[in-house]
């Protein structure tokens, strides 16, 4: 079984044809009605809401990829960053992806132009005041996420949904600083977001069924396959994937095999398209460390304890492909 976060090394993250280029927001997502609910309940008000306008906070590799995917599916998207340089870089990544698709004949020039017309950038959180759904995709730091969720809660319409793209952190802790806990959930995309088909929808102890149903419909409208996970550290995929990558680091750290042989063994012996060290560089050593720490905090099993080598590499600023320094990238072979 190939881990869901694994993609072939030659995949270009932006080089993906929209799952249904004819969808074009034809369907803004409508919450499904439930006639068994009282018309006076908050759940019913959620069900009657239509998603048309989406906000994404964070224009890094994940945030920009998520924004690209959503705009391609026909939604109006606002992408936010903390400074102009990061925002410009994220928007350039998105528009560059569409130019690449058009250049390869995967979409027409007209389609690429149409996609571009659906996304704009901002440095002002107040511009999210008309959003139906906001996806947080910032650094994996709980304090920062809680500050953002609290600020968004004061700005968003009362019926809007607020979700996090975190890969491991507890969603209910973010929801606790808002007044809309039933409308908060996890919506975890996989890297690269335009390519990977899986989305984990994370249900907290407070998330309403209406919210889950809407996020499932929204994910499907993006051409993704959603699965539902409880709000436990690592959710589904990382709970299985993280110990696999940590075990590989321990093997290398203890001199049991070279990283090249470990990667070759997993690719040729298990049929994985990438070995664990190639995957670590691709996913991010820092991201892997944060996820491991979050899972280990909740499940103090040695399998989830980050190896010393991984910590030292992150401390040295070796994050993988994202900054050109990792187990392979930026290392003389």
Q: Which residues are catalytic?
A: 167, 188, 200, 238
Q: How far apart, in whole angstroms, are the C-alpha atoms of residue 148 and residue 71?
A: 23
Are 68 and 97 contacting, i.e. CB atoms less than 8 angstroms apart? yes
Q: How far apart, in whole angstroms, are the C-alpha atoms of residue 329 and residue 333?
A: 9
What is the DSSP-derived secondary structure letter of residue 41? Answer: S
What is the chain's length? 333
**Residue 103 CB contacts under 8 Å (≥ 6 apart), including other chains:** none
Omega before 131 within 30 of 0, i.e. cis = no
Percent of the chain as helix, strand, coil, to the nearest 5? 45, 15, 40
Phi, psi of 57 (to 5 degrees): -105, 115
Q: How far apart, in whole angstroms, are the C-alpha atoms of residue 311 and residue 306?
A: 7
Give SS3 for 136: strand
Q: How far apart, in whole angstroms, are the C-alpha atoms of residue 81 and residue 57?
A: 6
Helix residue ranges per DSSP H, the chain: 42-47, 61-72, 84-103, 109-116, 142-155, 171-175, 209-221, 237-253, 259-270, 276-283, 285-298, 308-315
Strand-strand pairing, 225-230 and 198-203: parallel
**Residue 125 CB contacts under 8 Å (≥ 6 apart), including other chains:** 57, 80, 151, 152, 155
């Amino acid at each position: 079984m190939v881990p869901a976060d694994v993609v072939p090394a030659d995949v270009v993250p932006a080089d993906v044809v929209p799952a249904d280029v004819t969808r074009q927001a034809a369907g803004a997502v409508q919450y499904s009605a439930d006639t068994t609910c009282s018309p006076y309940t908050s759940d019913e008000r959620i069900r009657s809401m239509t998603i048309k306008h989406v906000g994404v906070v964070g224009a890094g590799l994940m945030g920009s990829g998520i924004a690209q995917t959503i705009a391609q599916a026909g939604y109006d998207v606002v992408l936010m960053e903390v400074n102009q340089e990061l925002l410009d870089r994220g928007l350039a990544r998105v528009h560059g992806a569409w130019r690449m698709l058009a250049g390869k004949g995967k979409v027409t020039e007209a389609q690429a132009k149409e996609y571009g017309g659906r996304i704009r950038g901002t440095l002002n959180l107040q511009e999210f005041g008309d959003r139906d759904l906001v996806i947080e995709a910032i650094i994996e730091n709980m304090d920062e996420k809680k500050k953002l969720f609290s600020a968004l809660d004061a700005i968003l319409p009362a019926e809007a949904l607020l979700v996090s793209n975190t890969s491991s952190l507890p969603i209910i802790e973010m929801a606790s600083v808002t007044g809309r806990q039933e409308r908060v959930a996890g919506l975890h995309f996989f890297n690269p977001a335009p390519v990977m088909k899986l989305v984990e929808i994370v249900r907290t102890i407070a998330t309403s069924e209406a919210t889950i149903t809407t996020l499932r419909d929204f994910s499907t409208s993006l051409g993704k396959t959603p699965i539902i996970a409880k709000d436990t550290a690592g959710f589904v995929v990382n709970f299985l994937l993280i110990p696999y990558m940590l075990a590989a680091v321990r093997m290398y750290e203890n001199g049991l095999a070279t990283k090249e042989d470990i990667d070759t063994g997993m690719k040729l012996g298990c049929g994985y398209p990438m070995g664990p060290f190639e995957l670590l560089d691709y996913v991010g050593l820092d991201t892997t460390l944060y996820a491991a720490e979050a899972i280990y905090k909740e499940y103090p099993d040695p399998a989830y304890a980050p190896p010393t080598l991984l910590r030292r590499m992150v401390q040295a600023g070796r994050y993988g492909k994202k900054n050109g320094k990792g187990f392979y990238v930026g290392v003389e072979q």
